[in-house]
């Protein structure tokens, strides 16, 4: 049987239609990004600025940030939850705990 569109495109179209019908966001953004990728996505110019935001307490490990370093590793590998980081940035400084 000859197909008019490839099966992968058909599946994607069905997925989008179902997501729309169910009111679910069909395009899901990956939740956690490493420092190098999160820098631009959060509007920072340099990764050191994100690390400074952790040091200052703006972003908290265990809340907006995950430390995924290997056991016994010295260098931290931080991953940022973009949704939580954006929410934290949107809060008034007085309201941040």
Interval 25-35: pLDDT, tens = 655 556 899 99
Task: For the chain, give the mean pLDDT.
Answer: 87
Interval 63-91: pLDDT, tens = 999 999 999 999 999 999 999 999 999 99
Predicted pLDDT of residue 28: 53
Q: Could you tell me which residues come within 8 angstroms of residue 18 by beta carbon, excluding any fewer than 6 positions away?
A: 26
Computed from CA positions of residues 45, 50, 55, 57, in that sequence, does the dihedral angle turn out positive or negative?
Answer: positive
Sheet holding 65-67, edge to edge: 32-34, 78-81, 65-67
pTM of the prediction?
Answer: 0.67
């Amino acid at each position: 049987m000859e197909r008019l569109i490839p099966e992968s495109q058909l599946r994607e179209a069905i997925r989008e239609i179902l997501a729309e019908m169910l009111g679910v966001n069909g395009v899901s953004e990956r939740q956690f990004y490493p420092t190098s990728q999160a820098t631009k996505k959060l509007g920072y110019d340099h990764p050191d600025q994100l690390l400074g935001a952790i040091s200052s307490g703006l972003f908290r490990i265990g809340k907006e940030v995950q430390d995924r370093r290997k056991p016994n590793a010295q260098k931290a590998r931080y991953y940022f939850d973009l949704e939580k980081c954006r929410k934290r940035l949107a809060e008034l400084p007085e309201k941040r705990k």
